[in-house]
A and B are shown apart, each in its own frame.
Chain A
Amino acid sequence: MKNFSQKSSKKWSSSRTAGIFILLTVLLLLLFLADIFFGSVTISFSEVIRALFSDSSGKMATIIIKFRVPKALTALLVGVALAVSGLQMQTVFRNPMAGPYVLGISSGASLGVAFVILGFASGISIQAISTLGNWILAGAAWAGAGLVILLVMALSARIKDVMTILIIGIMLSSGISAVVTIMQYFSNESVLKAYVIWTMGSLGNLTSGQLNVLMISVLAGLTVSFFSTKILNALLIGESYAGSIGLNVKHARIIIFTSTSILAGSVTAFCGPVGFIGIAVPHIARILFRRSDHKILIPGTVLTGGAVLLLSDIISQLPGSESILPVNAVTSLIGIPVVIWVIMKKRRYSDLF
């Protein structure tokens, strides 16, 4: 009898997992379509479908193909990249409060971008930078992000407290913005303008070249992430145990930090800092799936992250109005309550995670 109930509970739990995956996939597709549908110009549903699947000529079709689809795609990529990088950070640091934005990794990426725009681009706007320039921009962002991750790692290695990592993140972010302010002070007007426009961040301003770079980078980062599934699971139980079951912790960290830098860095390079997705989405995925296995959490975070950012983008367009809110404001408003809820619900470090 006992054996039977165990089997059925196992089955129940795996069918529940499958069910959530199906629901999330459907939700993601619906949100993707809705994101294309809503915008400052009202386009009817039939026109959207026609533009997507058959006739791609005409003014409405141009708006959809040239603007709405790339924007939705960007939202999807940004959500996925930030969410997965957040999940990885939380596992590696064994800290529920870790994420690319709060730890200053996004700031690190913007420092990289600031070096490129303020330091090297001579009077040309960011949109005019060629494909090679886009890769330089992305590479600078990766380097900046990676540098900050290493700094946080070094600083937090001795302190196991959950909140200390947040303080370190805030300090690093402030330090970096101070450096950027000094760089701005010594920059000429046109370069400064290009940089300020970039810092505002947006999902809709990407050139097709930039979207390509973003897509390739995010896919590369995700691939590394999928290959790290086993490593991430081992790191869940702490470095000492991970070592005892045969993991080379140093190599594991390098692999995971590489993919985190690529994911968070690329997003910041082209869309500016987008906050609270990386920290909040993994928690939403954990609440949904009730599992700790990264074989489930990584795809789960991918779907949830994409869905949350598409939803944020839809909200930021204020359906029925012509004005657009900065997407960073919307993601913060969605993410912050989740983070506060996580802190309030359980105070013990081990339970939080």
Chain B
Amino acid sequence: MDNYKNKILTVDCLEIGYFSGRSSNSLLLPVTASAGEGEVIAVIGRNGAGKSTFLRTLAGLQPPLDGEIYFRGQRLAEYSRRELARNIGYVSTEPVVVANMTAYDLVALGRFPHTNWIGRISEEDNRMIMDSLALTSMAAEKNKYLSEMSDGERQKVMIARVLSQDAGLMILDEPSAFLDAGSRYEILNILHRLSEDRGKTIIYSTHDLQMALTQSDKIWLITEGKFVEGAPEDLMLGGSLSVLFESPEVQFNPVDGTFSVKRKNRGYVNIKGQGQSRHWTCKAIERAGYTVTGEMDYPLIKLPDSSDDMWHFISENRSVAFSSLYDLVNHLHRIAR
């Protein structure tokens, strides 16, 4: 129990869900977990597993059905609303678009638990707001209206708002959902900088498994009837991820944490050649349903090299040349039929 001291958040036998009348509807089995100061924690689970409810409960926005949450060693329920807001920031999946509200206005709302009764923005508040906008590289857009922003910009401003709240723990519900790949990496990059440079503890839910596996200190895995926590690599080695995410159609690759669609094997081929073109040719061939092998009695694919920029498919002493992988894959499909 004395490891409470260096943990910013400790969850003890927590049950979450909704009260409906006299009965309660629990979404998860009792959860026991902890978050260290400055850690980035990814919450992973299938849709409907209760991730959002879990995060809302951690943020103190919803009472737990049972169990306890300790923030810096003190029960979450003992904090006042204002104290809680000064320590825990929260971004939900709900997009905020208020007409005539500028980036600055929104970020200024993060100062709510710090300002006086009328919400006067002091010099210090202003500095915090501008600093938060700068950290999310939105300083130049401070007078831009939310309604004129892209989804990525809006998400950055939402993060700037939590930042200006000056809370040690930031809880974000799917911060990278609905974003294009570029913005997704930008958001993740911002979150990492916040943990490294500012010592913020960040708990976020995501569906992007690869990102979660490569970019978090810890993973909280939520599935039906099971809660697992640990470093991403621990979960990979322990096999929790493969078991939980594999299905008859989908194959989980435990080496790099990617998924692929399971395909019926249509045959074997041999590949001659090295380098990047070998990597992508393998991918294309696997997609076509073939398995790459080292044994020589199967058809051979000769990769392009400095003297020849064509792919050669050599089978039973007949050679066919292709100028692209697209044509090669089509040919493989044809002969499989």
| Cα-based distance from A13 to B100 in the complex (angstroms) | 12
CB distance from B104 to the nearest CB of A (A): 9
Does B75 interact with chain A (Cβ within 8 Å)? no
Is there an interface contact between B59 and A237, defined as CB atoms closer than 8 Å? no
Is there an interface contact between B143 and A229, defined as CB atoms closer than 8 Å? no
CB distance from A162 to the nearest CB of B (A): 13
| Cα-based distance from A229 to B120 in the complex (angstroms) | 10
Which residues of A lie under 8 Å from residue B106 when comparing CB positions?
237
Interface centre among A236, A237, A290, A292 (most CB of B within 10 A): A237
Does A295 interact with chain B (Cβ within 8 Å)? yes
Is there an interface contact between A245 and B110, defined as CB atoms closer than 8 Å? yes
Partner of A237 from the list B98, B99, B102, B142 (CB cut-off 8 Å) is B98
Is there an interface contact between B109 and A233, defined as CB atoms closer than 8 Å? yes
- Number of A-B pairs, beta carbon distance below 8 Å: 90
Which residues of A lie under 8 Å from residue B98 when comparing CB positions?
236-237, 292, 350, 353
Closest to A91 in B: B98
Does B86 interact with chain A (Cβ within 8 Å)? yes
Is there an interface contact between A290 and B100, defined as CB atoms closer than 8 Å? yes
| Cα-based distance from A213 to B96 in the complex (angstroms) | 41
Does B61 interact with chain A (Cβ within 8 Å)? yes
Is there an interface contact between A6 and B105, defined as CB atoms closer than 8 Å? no
Does B67 interact with chain A (Cβ within 8 Å)? no
| Cα-based distance from A230 to B120 in the complex (angstroms) | 9
Interface centre among B94, B95, B99 (most CB of A within 10 A): B99
Which residues of B lie under 8 Å from residue A293 when comparing CB positions?
105
Partner of A246 from the list B113, B118, B140, B147 (CB cut-off 8 Å) is B113
Which residues of B lie under 8 Å from residue A9 when comparing CB positions?
143
Partner of A240 from the list B81, B94, B112 (CB cut-off 8 Å) is B94
Is there an interface contact between A229 and B92, defined as CB atoms closer than 8 Å? no
Is there an interface contact between B101 and A236, defined as CB atoms closer than 8 Å? yes
Q: A9-B143, A241-B96, A350-B147 are in contact. Are A229 and B61 (CB under 8 A)?
A: no
Which residues of A lie under 8 Å from residue B56 when comparing CB positions?
240
Is there an interface contact between B85 and A6, defined as CB atoms closer than 8 Å? no
Closest to B104 in A: A10
Is there an interface contact between B61 and A240, defined as CB atoms closer than 8 Å? yes
Closest to A287 in B: B100
Instruction: Describe B's contact surface by its main secondary structure.
Output: loop
CB distance from B27 to the nearest CB of A (A): 18
Interface centre among B86, B96, B142 (most CB of A within 10 A): B96
| Cα-based distance from A305 to B89 in the complex (angstroms) | 37
Is there an interface contact between B143 and A6, defined as CB atoms closer than 8 Å? yes
| Cα-based distance from A292 to B104 in the complex (angstroms) | 11
Q: Mark B122-160, 1 if CB is under 8 A from A, else 0.
A: 000000000000000000101100010000000000000
Does A50 interact with chain B (Cβ within 8 Å)? no
State which residues 141-195 of B face A: CB under 8 Å: 142-143, 147, 165
| Cα-based distance from A245 to B97 in the complex (angstroms) | 17
Does B290 interact with chain A (Cβ within 8 Å)? no
Partner of A286 from the list B86, B100, B113 (CB cut-off 8 Å) is B100
| Cα-based distance from A45 to B261 in the complex (angstroms) | 87
Does B119 interact with chain A (Cβ within 8 Å)? yes
| Cα-based distance from A2 to B81 in the complex (angstroms) | 39
Which residues of B lie under 8 Å from residue A2 when comparing CB positions?
140
Does A194 interact with chain B (Cβ within 8 Å)? no
Is there an interface contact between B61 and A292, defined as CB atoms closer than 8 Å? no
Cβ contacts A to B, 21 pairs, < 8 Å? A6-B140, A6-B142, A9-B143, A227-B117, A229-B119, A230-B117, A230-B118, A230-B119, A233-B112, A236-B98, A236-B109, A240-B92, A241-B90, A243-B81, A244-B89, A246-B82, A246-B86, A246-B112, A247-B112, A350-B95, A351-B147
Chain A interfacial positions (CB closer than 8 Å to B): 2, 6, 9-10, 13, 227, 229-230, 233-234, 236-238, 240-241, 243-248, 286, 289-293, 295, 350-353
Chain B interfacial positions (CB closer than 8 Å to A): 56, 59, 61, 81-82, 84-86, 88-90, 92, 94-102, 105-106, 109-110, 112-113, 115, 117-119, 140, 142-143, 147, 165
The 4 closest A-B pairs by CB, nearest first: A246-B85, A230-B119, A246-B113, A350-B97
Given A9-B143, A295-B118, 5 other A-B residues pairs in contact with their CB atoms under 8 A: A227-B117, A244-B90, A246-B85, A289-B100, A351-B97
